[in-house]
Structure 1
Amino acid sequence: MSAEGRLIAGRYRLQQKIGSGAMGVVWKAVDERLHRTIAVKQLLLQPGYTPEETEEARQRSMREGRIAARLQHQNAIVVFDVAEDEGQPVLVMEYLPSTSLAAVIDEQGVQPPMRVARIGVQVAGALAAAHMAGIVHRDLKPGNILLGENDLAKITDFGISRAIGDVAVTKSGILAGTPAYLAPEVALGRDPAPASDVFSLGSTLYAAIEGGPPFGTDENAISLLHRVARGQFEPPRQAGPMTPVLMQMLCPDPVDRPTMAHTRDLLQAVLDGRPVPNAAPGAGAGWQRQQQAPAPPPPTGAPTMAYQGGMPSGGMGGGANPPTRVGGAAPVAAAPAEPRRGGKQVALWIVAIVVAVLVGVLAANAFGSGSNQGAPPRPAPKPAPVAAPAPTTSATPTTSSAAPTTSSQAPTSSATSTKKQVTKEKLVATVKKYYTLVPKELDDAWKLLGPSLQSQGKERYEDFWKQIDDVKIVGEPIQSGANVVVTLQFTKDGKKSTEMHVLGMVANTDGDALINTDNHT
């Protein structure tokens, strides 16, 4: 291990140790050729490595330098050079006098949502550029965000990042990433993708606002991984205008998350005081384009996996994993490539498909001309029941929209399960309908509540709404997994107040969406 004052590669003079991580030790140093202050990261090997493992770690560090050097962004630490010291590589990087976001949280406690938004928009900009270059960070956490003067934020430590399309050299069984900030699909054993970085950044920003990551912390990494894999977390309580952004970033299914570029725009909207749009619809196509653009096509017959919320058959950390494919319906094996067909044959297939579609439409019209014409199709029977948490009484009933009770937990199962599909549009439509019924048509509104909110009793429910003159939705509700985030304006005794509510949704036995929990900020 090099000591203070040692000269590396004939030009980099070590001055003092300034940090350490899973893969190395970082030194403040001086480039004696260019006369500038730099940071030098040395590879850190654990005792007992075999020669093969030592070589693997050396290649990993070389790969880190190649990946990081591809990224040039004002909010990312620049890698200047990859040198060698006694046969081992060292990274020569930009030096930024700074404090990590982790240290800021430890010293100052929770941070104001607007400050977190300013930090987040900078980091999201750098990561959007990284994703465009085919780079996935893999280990986003507060310790890897450096804050300089005037809250200048820079992302660092791409040491366990993975270039899309590059050859993976991760040793079988090594967990790449900090469990508390991993995305659910990564905890399930999938390879990280750009969507995984979005979730990890959301977890990081959540921790800065709420004081801890969404899934908490646990010295037992396996126990924590299981919590992450389930994708259930406490909705933010102190996030204010950041709430809808965090809920979109923390969607359990990667296809429902915004891209990193969309995330940057959402955070900028918070800073500008503008309504936060819902970037989730259509985000899946954006992820597929972003993943396909920089990467070469996979070998013929290579398997691709889709995240479905269950443990893959191979378990966690079982060697090289298939890439995460977002937006798919089920794990499938890609069929061998067929020979390219001639233009004439393709045209005949197109004509056949069009004819089949027309026949199907005519048949549907013919069979649908009876008494059920115009009725929406009913979902498949028997949804998986969703366990509802016990309600807790709110001390200030006027701050609860669905009822004077709130639940501090998110529903324990998604209302959009694979056994009984409840569409995103249906979740939002139920919320919109509910707030057209209250406070006047309470009998019909009561039918749209789930078992948790109905457990308060209808009499208390009616007493609460008798105090409210009017309520209306401001902007567009935002669906996030089994939750719908909605901004409400209440009118009472001529005075107006605005609140943001996170509504936990469930499905009843008929497949209809119900409002089961209500958390408000």
Structure 2
Amino acid sequence: MPVIADGLIAGRYRLQSRVGVGGMGEVWQAFDERLSRVVAVKPLVLAPGLSDEQADQARRRAIREGRIAARLQHPGAVTVYDVAEDDGRPVLVMEYVPGRSLAEIIAERGTVPAAEVAAIGAQVAAALAAAHAAGIVHRDVKPANILITDDGAAKITDFGIARALGDVTVTANGILVGTPAFLAPEVARGREPDPTGDVFSLGATLYTALEGRPPFGDGDNAIAVLQTVAAGQFAPSVNGGALGEVVAQLMRVDPAERPTMADAAERLRAVAAGHSPPAPTRVDLRPLPDAPVGPRSRRGGPAVLIAVIAVVGLALLTLVVANRPGEPDQATTVPSASSPPTTAAVTAEDLRRAVAEYYALLPEHTDQAWTRLGPTLRAAGQEQYEKAWKDVKDLTIFSAPRATGADTVTVGLEYTQESRGRLREVHRLVLIVRDGVLLIDADHVQSSERVKEGGPKSEKKKEDKEDKEDDDDGG
């Protein structure tokens, strides 16, 4: 159904003029008659010929888009205010940002000076770092999705194909999402997008602003562009100078060699200020002092069960730690930075123990868990971190922390999230050292699946509930 320019959406948003086209519909400037403010609205426009089931899926995708984007509150990201409904169609209501897209600026000017590009990139990288810390991957970072205001502020918009890590895929039937010219090579080859893909896409976006063309071309044949992207070969930037070096780091073909988005923001800020970008951080890990987790009483209230399972030969060792609410375990407090460990190198056991101790604090003692995070995961702020964990219940480690590199650990988690149900995930954590303390600086979800109700885990949850009721009755 076409949108009428003077129409009223959801009984309160008066459409005024069309300002653009997004991945799931047109974007309009509108006036919120209830709150007396200008907003941007994006009504869902269904493609012709969809079956009832496909149309329903499209509506659900739009609602999910709004729910995911609304998690992010950052000055460098367009804020989603509401997900309204009008005549059965979901409508996203967003912050209205007067200005032009970076794509329009590039089309008009050809190339953009390096200092200006660095300033834009630093703002966008900071917003995306906050998104990654909140578990959101944008998946479509490109010039058209970066808005530049008249005073030079940059905002990333259109999380329309973004997905929260662990959520179901946004597209149906394996349809490719993202703009091929700005995809990371591993995504073009079929790998699931993750934060490292956003890092590459930001690099490709900045490259385009510097050189006036995308690194892999922008021909009409999307398949041909996709094949070029998958090969990962492009000409180095010639207009970037120091910024070109940073862009090259963001666009490394191996995702493991790219900086984190928070690190990218730091390097871009340095270039924008006229300084040399900081060298890539070399991880020099030192372990935490011994901090054994002692047993605690299970009685007296709800418990968080942490099961750390390690297989040694044919032996299966299960360590169960139950946290009493409101009573932090003093043995797991992060040591003072004034007394750093003296061991020069970290062992796999040090990495495993640091991760196990971190999850032993969650989801109840988020204030202590926060002190064990590095700068990347702290980018969104402690309030956002605690808000995210507030929705998590019954956290269990089903697969023991396993060191997979000099600074990485893989761990299997199972937990209940009130808004999404029971989830079973495998996480890859990156650890760094600050003031002699091991900190978790990045968290990548490698796999995620929902645990069906009525399965073994559901029965276990039921048994735990019954045990709690027995405890409360004094049994």
What TM-score, normalized to structure 1? 0.54
**Shift in Å, 1:51:** 1.2
Which residue of structure 1 lines up, in the alignment, with residue 205 of structure 2?
A: 204
User: Aligned pairs, how many?
Assistant: 290
Contact 1:179/1:224 (CA < 8 Å) preserved in 2? Answer: yes
What pairs up with 1:87-486 in 2 under 5 angstroms? Answer: 87-279=88-280, 281-282=282-283, 340-341=316-317
8 A Cα contact 2:62 2:90, kept in partner: yes
**Equivalent position amino acid for 2:317 in 1:** R
CA contact (8 A) 1:56 1:169 kept: no
Residue 52 of structure 1 aligns to which amino acid in structure 2? E
| Structure 2 CA distance for aligned equivalents of residues 108 and 225 of structure 1 | 27
Superposed CA deviations along residues 365-400 of structure 1, whole A, max 9, x for unmatched, are: xxxxxxxxxxxxxxxxxxxxxxxxxxxxxxxxxxxx
C-alpha distance in 2, partners of 1:132/1:341? 32
Counterpart for residue 56 of structure 1: 57
Q: Which amino acid aligns with 2:198?
A: D
CA distance in 2, matches of 1:167, 1:82: 19
- State the partner residue of 1:294: none
Greater Rg over alpha carbons, structure: 1
Q: Is the 8 A contact 2:137 2:194 kept in 1?
A: yes
CA contact (8 A) 1:59 1:169 kept: no
**Unaligned stretches of 5+ in structure 1?**
284-334, 344-521
Q: How far has the Cα of 1:273 moved from its partner?
A: 2.5
1:165 maps to a residue whose letter is G
Deviations 1:87-132 (Å, cap 9, x if unpaired)? 1100000001110000001111100000000100000010000000
> TM-score, normalised on structure 2?
0.59
The separation in 2 between residues aligned to 1:86 and 1:45, in whole angstroms, is 13
- Where does 1:14-25 land on structure 2 (aligned, <5 Å)? 14-25=15-26
Q: Does the 8 Å contact 2:246/2:277 carry over to 1? A: yes
Match of residue 76 from structure 1: 77
Q: Aligned letter for 1:15?
A: Q
**Using the alignment, how far apart are the partners of 1:280 and 1:158 within structure 2?**
30
Q: Secondary structure at the match of 2:317?
A: coil
Deviations 1:57-111 (A, max 9, x none): 1111001100110000001100000000111100000001110000001111100
How far apart, in 2, do the equivalents of 1:83 and 1:339 lie?
Answer: 55
Tell me by how many angstroms 1:340 deviates: 4.8
- Output one character per residue of 1:283-320: Cα deviation in whole Å (capped at 9) or x when no partner: 9xxxxxxxxxxxxxxxxxxxxxxxxxxxxxxxxxxxxx
The SS at the match of 1:341 is strand
Q: Distance in 1 between matches of 2:138 and 2:79?
A: 14
More strand by share: 2
Deviations 1:240-277 (A, max 9, x none): 12021011000001000000000000101112322223
1:65 alignment counterpart: 66
1:6-37 CA-partner distances (Å, limit 9, x unpaired): 11111111111111122111111000011110
| Partner Cα separation in structure 2 for residue 144 and residue 342 of structure 1 | 48
Cα 1:339–1:112 shift into 2, 3 Å:
farther
Partners of 1:339 and 1:172 in 2: CA distance: 43
Relative to structure 1, the CA distance from residue 226 to residue 281 in structure 2 (aligned partners, 3 Å threshold; closer, same or farther) is: farther
Please, what is the CA RMSD of the aligned residues? Answer: 1.7
Q: In structure 2, how many angstroms separate the alpha carbons of the residues matched to 1:142 and 1:133?
A: 23
Q: Give yes or no for contact 1:256–1:280 (8 Å, CA) kept in 2.
A: no
Q: Once the 2 structures are TM-superposed, how far is the Cα of residue 182 of structure 1 from its aligned partner?
A: 0.2
The whole-number CA distance in structure 2 between the counterparts of 1:48 and 1:227 is 32
Is the contact made by 1:256 and 1:281 (CA closer than 8 Å) also made in structure 2? no
